[in-house]
Amino acid sequence: MSTVWLPCGDYHQDYAEDQGWWQARFIKFKMILLLAVVFIGIPQFLPEYYVSVGTMVGYTAMGALGVQLLIGFTGLITLGHAAFIAVGAYTSTLLVLQFPWPGFIVDWGLAYPISILVAAIAAGLWSVLFGLPSAKVKGFYLILTTMAAQFITVDFILTQYVSQIGGRGQAFSLPPGVIKIGPWAIDTDLKIYYLMAVLLTLMIIVLANLLRSKPGRAWVAIRDNDIAAEALGINIVRYKLLAFFVAGFFAGLAGAFWVSNTAALSPEHFPWFWSLWLVGVILIGGVGSIHGAIFGALFMVLVMEGLQWAVIPMSEYFPRMLMAFASIKDAAFGLAICAFLIYEPNGLAYRWWQAKNYFNLWPFSY
């Protein structure tokens, strides 16, 4: 632990120090402040609507973290991530609704927490299955194989078979009180937000730790030059599949969490467009950075919500704007991606890094 208050320049002397979580007291203070904002400020002081917007930011970030790991850190382009989120959501729902849990598991509110874990593992393994072609193909070809995950998983398996379980038709509905963690039923926007905040924080900690360990270095090496990485002795197939597993695991967590937010589920919740949206999130937020996934999610959700608030008063004069709002939103999404790729290809995370560096040396920068 450093004794300095402000991170004023780089004085790291070894790798451990360079990768340390708390490089200065200021950073520790900053992180505690951030946690206070996330866990106390937003849920306790903002109206319910903004809390639910925060939940959407979190859900988007949870999905984007997996995409970031695959695209940003390992160089494996994916356009089928919604499928893995769907696997997580369906596994969790089916376990909660259909699995013959012993009475004490249900009474103690353990069915949903266990289902989250199993859902994450199932989605991770499913993701590995669709990651297998990455041993042979990359680039555009890999995009197509990951897209196959969407069509095979959501449009075929989930729609034609899994949705039929229980005889309801296509949609599962979770009765109130079923989604329970311990004694707490996850039935209010506030509780859903807290669940999201805890899961997202854990995911960020896990991913950040993985990235500064051996697998993380291997992933980055594969991304930068897979042939050179193999020449250095890295088993690239193994590490690529590990990346798919971790990304799928995160997607599974996101899907299992999503169930608590809607209490209902159908294949329509996981359109292919959502996979594309998540790629847009990391492009805007910044490829190759955990911050990028968070900033991208913040940008995409908050800007779109802001757009909504802008459209409401304008609709008095241009009533057709409401009719075309979904198209306006899609256009804004496309425009934002174009604008970022042209003017800030490194994304919002790079701007954050620049601002941080500026203030690290402020007011005596030179």
Partner 1 sequence: MKNRIRSLLVLFLALGFLIGVCGVAMAQEIKIGGIMDTTGATSDVGKDYAIGMEEAFKYINAQGGVNGKPIKYTWFDYGYRIPEAITKYRLLKRLGVVAIQGWGTGDTEALSPTVNKDQMPYVSASYSAHLTDPAKTPYNLFFSSDYSTNARAALTAWFDHKWPTKKDYGKRKPRLACSYMFASPYASAPIKALKDHAVMLGFDIGDDQDVSLFALDTKSQVMAMKTFQPDVVWHGNTTMSVAATMRDSFALDLGADHIMNNWALDENLPRLGGEAAEGAIGATPCAFYGQPFKNMDIVVAAGKKYSPGVPQEKRLIRSIQAWGNALLLWEALIRADKAGDLTGKGIMQKGFESLRNFDIGLGAAPITFTETDHRPGTGCLIQEWKDGKFQEVANVNLKQRWPEKWEKEWLGW
- Contacts with partner 1, residue ranges (CB under 8 A): 47-49, 52-53, 56, 154-155, 159-160, 163, 167-171, 173-176, 187-189, 261-269, 271, 273-274, 305, 308, 312, 315, 319, 322-327, 329-330
Residue 312: φ, ψ to 5°: -55, -55
Q: Which long-range contacts (C-beta less than 8 Å, at least 24 apart) are formed by 41-49?
A: 42/193, 43/190, 43/193, 43/194, 43/197, 48/189, 48/190
Of 210 and 263, which has the nearer Cβ to partner 1?
263
* Cβ-based nearer residue to partner 1, 35 or 171: 171
Name the residue nearer to partner 1 (CB basis): 114 or 322: 322
Q: Do you know the residue count of the chain? A: 366
Burial status of residue 201 (CB atoms within 10 A of its CB: 0-12, 13-18, 19 or more): middle
Angle at 49 between CA 44 and CA 51, to 5 degrees: 40
Nearer to partner 1, 59 or 73 (CB): 59
The stretches of 212-289 forming alpha helices (DSSP H) are 214-224, 226-231, 236-262, 272-285
Residue closer to partner 1, measured from CB, 95 or 154: 154
DSSP 14: S
Smallest gap from residue 115 Cβ to partner 1 (A): 18
Give me the least distance between CB of 264 and partner 1, in Å please.
Answer: 4
- In terms of Cβ atoms closer than 10 Å to its own Cβ (0-12, 13-18, 19+), residue 52 is middle
Shortest spacing between CB 188 and partner 1, in angstroms: 8
- Least Å from the CB of residue 340 to partner 1: 22
What CA–CA distance (Å, rounded) separates 79 from 52? 27
Q: Report, in Å, the least distance between residue 55 CB and partner 1.
A: 9
Q: How far is the CB of 139 from partner 1 (least distance, A)?
A: 29
Going by C-alpha positions, the residue among 64, 45, 5 that lies closest to residue 278 is: 64
Q: Closer to partner 1 by CB, 325 or 352: give it.
A: 325
CA angle 284, 289, 294 (to 5 degrees): 60
